[in-house]
Amino acid sequence: MEPALARKLAASATSAQLARLRQLVVAEERARAARDRPQVVKLSGEFHLEIAEMAGNAILARQMHELASLTCLIIFLYDSPAGRACPDDEHRRLLEAFAKRDGETAAALMLHHLDHVEQSLDISLSAQEDDDLERIFS
């Protein structure tokens, strides 16, 4: 679903939409530099939701909203300590593809990103004692 949304957004992104995505990427980079993992996960989810909204498909955007909280929770709880679900540059590279109106690259980057997120999960890990779900979703 998300590669198709990325392809569509690349074809139609406005300057204002690109600026909003850029704000999210910068905020995510700041949170990453501050080692604020809950904020990184939250901003990452917002980035994906914005793409869905901006692509203009209300049905897929609604589905993304339904999946986003669950996805962020799974990433927060099961992201492998040896890896990161969202490496530093993947959202920035998606943004660059949108800005270049390169739908095929955007779709391929999104697919790679989602594969990377999936591969970084270790569902054998148990939740950490300091995982505060209210803090994660606030």
Provide DSSP, 23-78: HHHHHHHHHHHTT-HHHHHHHHHHHHHHHHHHHT-HHHHHHHHHHHHHHHHHHHHH
User: Is the pLDDT assigned to residue 48 strictly greater than 70?
Assistant: yes
**Average pLDDT for the chain:** 86
The whole-number pLDDT of residue 41 equals: 85
Residue from 90, 70, 117 nearest 29 by CA: 90
To the nearest 10°, report the CA torsion of 59, 27, 20, 5. Answer: -30
pLDDT at residue 35 greater than cutoff 60: yes
Q: What is the pTM of this model?
A: 0.83
pLDDT for 38 equals: 85
Token representation of residue 14: 């406005």
What's the whole-number mean pLDDT along residues 59-68? Answer: 89
Q: What domains lie within the chain, and their CATH numbers?
A: 2-127 (1.20.120.530)
| pLDDT of amino acid 23 | 98
Q: Which residue has better confidence, 40 or 23? A: 23
**In the chain, % of residues over pLDDT 70:** 84
Interatomic CA distance for residues 51 and 45, integer angstroms: 10
